[in-house]
Amino acid sequence: MTDESVLDEGRDFIRDIVAADLASGKHSGVVTRFPPEPNGYLHLGHAKSIFLNFGLAQEFGGRCHLRFDDTNPAKEEQEYIDAIERDVRWLGFDWGTNLFYASDYFEQLYAWAQDLIRSGKAYVDDQSQAEIRLTRGTLTEPGQNSPFRDRSVEENLDLFARMRAGEFPNGTRVLRAKIDMTSGNINMRDPVLYRILHAHHPRTGREWNIYPSYDFAHGQSDAIENITHSICTLEFADHRPLYDWFLDNLPVPSHPRQYEFARLNVTHTLLSKRVLTQLVRDGHVSAWDDPRMPTLAGLRRRGVPAEALREFVKRIGVAKANSTVDIGMFDFAIRETLNRTAQRRMAVLKPLKVVIENYPEGPSELLEAVNHPDDPSLGVRQIPFGRELYIERDDFMEDPPKKFFRLAPGREVRLRYAYFITCKEVIKDANGEVVELRCTYDPATRGGNAPDGRKVKATIHWVSATEGVPAEVRLYSLLFSAPQPDAANFAEQINPESLEVLTGSVVEPALAGDNDPAAMQFERQGYFCRDRDSTPGKLVFNRTVGLRDTWAKVASEG
């Protein structure tokens, strides 16, 4: 995932270019921009671009603009604008007063298009989209000139004005640059500058009936905002000659330089707004912030801290060659961050009842538990312990194999922060299923150690059956089991087991009063956070990530 362009952590070819441009005096300050199109929610790939653009501005004392590339009202919505702002802020960045929209420049862009017409460098083409596509040529064949290419300046200005005024239906005419239909670079074969689109725009309403193309809007917006380094992904390298052609042929106030870096690709993940939109629209997931989604909203809802994204992006670096990052690296960054910061709690996901026969009936006692084993500043809490408890069903086996050290008939284990208990009797229902364990405890082992020095081989977690709080726990796994899902047939590749809902879980009472959305570690289980579906009467938790890399094991075994 790295190449020679990554010099060391926090250093890469783009940072080198910026540093050199500042050192040589070419620029007195760095100005970057993050230019999302508001046609969907941001995903993990966008985070890479955000950390790079906003990060550069921070590191070099410059500024980064948030610019909405709102040139296609057919697909853009205010909901997406709001979501994008929320997500960029969540990652820790603030654009201050530097919030812009390509639509702010529609009037200027229109005037510049007229300038191109006047200098004979643009024309109105009456061909259909299909005809334009057919006559564009291929990588090996040149394109053919449009029969409308040599219209007079006057006719072009007139038609262009009437396109703007809404005289013509969608798709009947376009404005094209007049460059070179034989160019080796297909982007230079008279690219489309404007298309007719009678649509309501979230910001300009019905004011416009024509909208500029990405290529025509992007570089000129950069120039208007005095962007110094316009950073985009590698697919745009072939657009760079066009980016420069516009800036060279228009009276723009500055001439930014475009630089390309490798987009982020992650195994088992599709980072494409088109696919993510379909997943939501077709109901494959519950919403844009479904915790299985690689959207920033989904990751946040799953409990992934922004700091883990920062850590991940820093580790993968900024390279010039495309590659695919193993999703295990992302999970690793999440685990590492949460291991440092997350408070510990106890929760029993699949409960099995335990009755401690020699524990007095009546009121429970409180036992002390640390909130973080390595960070005493996070303090301690009191957990109620009593005669009736729940332990994890998986922590008991009636007939254990050799390597199973947890609870079994006749065996003694430690209950975390509590006592040693010994299993005396197994109670089954009519189907032979174990429904309860009768145990005894050793009162001398309070706090979890035996005064006589005897040892137990396992420590298991537990929750009081009378004071524990019922909860639903949602366990997520990969949305796509294939390491390289195919974006063209993604629906067929969705993992039918990507969501498992446990409705009978029990959590320690401290979790009921806690409204903190930050992820916690459920001891021995993984990291979990409270979901926004929680209500006063019903707690819901999402598994952020397990404690260990279980999927990699499954993948290699499978």
Residue 148's DSSP bridge partners are none
Nearer to ligand ATP (CB atom), residue 262 or residue 510: 262
Nearer to ligand ATP (CB atom), residue 290 or residue 508: 290
Cα-to-chain-centroid distance, residue 14: 23
Euclidean distance between CA atoms 129 and 199, whole angstroms: 18
Cα-to-chain-centroid distance, residue 83: 12
Nearer to ligand ATP (CB atom), residue 333 or residue 346: 333
Residue 211, both tokens:
């909208």
The residue behind tokens 């809802």 is 301
Among 18, 227, 271, 437, binds ligand ATP (CB under 6 A): 271
Euclidean distance between CA atoms 426 and 438, whole angstroms: 6
- Told to judge if 79 belongs to the known catalytic residues of this protein, a careful annotator would answer no
Minimum distance, C-beta of residue 207 to ligand ATP, in the bound complex (Å): 23
Three-state DSSP at 93 gives coil
Q: Is 233 near ligand ATP (CB under 6 A)?
A: yes
Minimum distance, C-beta of residue 321 to ligand ATP, in the bound complex (Å): 13
Residue type, 384: P
Spatial contact of 324 and 17, defined as CB atoms under 8 Å apart: no
DSSP state of 28: S
Phi, psi of 392 (to 5 degrees): -75, 130
Site for ligand ATP in 134-163 (CB under 6 A): none
Minimum distance, C-beta of residue 49 to ligand ATP, in the bound complex (Å): 4
Number of residues lying near ligand ATP (CB under 6 A)? 15
Minimum distance, C-beta of residue 46 to ligand ATP, in the bound complex (Å): 5
Residue 150, both tokens:
């040599």
Mark 485-507 as b/e (b = at least 16 C-beta within 10 Å).
Answer: beeeebeebbeeebbeeeeebbb
Residue type, 190: D
Query: In this chain, which stretch among 267-275, 304-312, 352-360, 402-410 interacts with ligand ATP, using CB under 6 A?
Result: 267-275
Site for ligand ATP in 45-104 (CB under 6 A): 45-46, 48-49
Nearer to ligand ATP (CB atom), residue 49 or residue 521: 49
Q: Which of 151, 273, 292, 335 is catalytic?
A: 273
Q: Is 297 near ligand ATP (CB under 6 A)?
A: no
Spatial contact of 78 and 118, defined as CB atoms under 8 Å apart: no
Query: In this chain, which stretch among 18-26, 54-62, 180-188, 269-277 interacts with ligand ATP, using CB under 6 A?
Result: 269-277
Minimum distance, C-beta of residue 281 to ligand ATP, in the bound complex (Å): 15
- Told to judge if 107 belongs to the known catalytic residues of this protein, a careful annotator would answer no
Nearer to ligand ATP (CB atom), residue 20 or residue 487: 487
Q: Is 263 near ligand ATP (CB under 6 A)?
A: yes
Nearer to ligand ATP (CB atom), residue 234 or residue 355: 234
Stated length of the chain: 558
Q: Is 218 near ligand ATP (CB under 6 A)?
A: no
Secondary structure of 408-432 in HEC code, one letter for each residue: CCCCEEEECCCCEEEEEEEEECCCC
- Told to judge if 345 belongs to the known catalytic residues of this protein, a careful annotator would answer no
* CA separation, residue 169 to residues 207, 349, 477 (Å): 15, 60, 48
Residue 507's DSSP bridge partners are 347, 469
Site for ligand ATP in 18-37 (CB under 6 A): 35-37
Among 273, 301, 345, 411, binds ligand ATP (CB under 6 A): 273
* CA separation, residue 546 to residues 289, 336, 339, 475 (Å): 20, 12, 11, 9
Minimum distance, C-beta of residue 105 to ligand ATP, in the bound complex (Å): 17
Minimum distance, C-beta of residue 488 to ligand ATP, in the bound complex (Å): 14
Among 30, 66, 264, 456, binds ligand ATP (CB under 6 A): 264
Nearer to ligand ATP (CB atom), residue 81 or residue 460: 81
Find all residues with CB under 8 Å of 32, minimum gap 6, and list them.
Answer: 53, 54, 56, 57, 62, 63, 64, 65, 227, 228, 229, 230, 231
Q: Which of 11, 86, 203, 263 is catalytic?
A: 263
Q: Is 495 near ligand ATP (CB under 6 A)?
A: no
Residue 556 burial class via C-beta count within 10 angstroms: exposed 0-12, middle 13-18, buried 19 and up: exposed
Where on the chain is the footprint of ligand ATP (CB under 6 A)? 35-37, 45-46, 48-49, 232-233, 263-264, 271-274
Residues classed as catalytic:
37, 263, 273
